[in-house]
Structures are given as structure tokens and as C-alpha cells.
Amino acid sequence: MNKIHILNRIGSVPYFFIRLVGKAQEKRLMTMQQLQYLICTAQLGSISQAAESMFVSQSSISKSIRLLEKELGF
């Protein structure tokens, strides 16, 4: 039987999906939110202006961009 069709009996969630989610969290894959924060910061020229326009804290944007830089090797 193909591994893709094996189901996890807890809620009948496909096992491969659970593994993919686990891998994504493990690898810290880039999120749309991180990209939105980065683009907004670049367009407005500062983290504080981006935070104000997106109604989030400056530290949220800083942390998000820092994680994105780490993932991309900067």
C-alpha cells in the first residue's frame, strides 16, 4: 500500500500531511506573513512605519524579518 494513503486514526488525517506540517515547523518555512512584513517595510522605509500601517508591534515585524533572514542565510 502506498504510504500516501495510510491514514492516522486520530481524526482520519492523512499521515503524510501530519509529517509535512511537522517538517515545515521544523524547517521554519517562509510564510506569507513574513513576506508581507518584509515588503511593507521596504515600501515604507522603516519597521516602525510598517508596524503602524499593519497594526502590529515593531518587535513582531523585526522578529519575523530576522527569522526570514536566518532561513535565507543572511
On whether both 38 and 68 belong to a single domain, the answer is yes
Low-confidence ranges of the chain (pLDDT < 50): 1-10, 12-18, 20-21, 24
Domain count of the chain? 2
Q: What are phi and psi of 57, to 5 degrees?
A: -80, 155
User: How many Å apart are CA 29 and CA 17, to the nearest integer?
Assistant: 15
User: How many Å apart are CA 74 and CA 4, to the nearest integer?
Assistant: 35
Query: What is the extent of the structural domain holding 19?
Result: 1-27
On whether both 39 and 66 belong to a single domain, the answer is yes
Burial-class residue 50 by CB neighbours within 10 Å (0-12, 13-18, 19+): buried
pLDDT at residue 74, as a whole number: 82
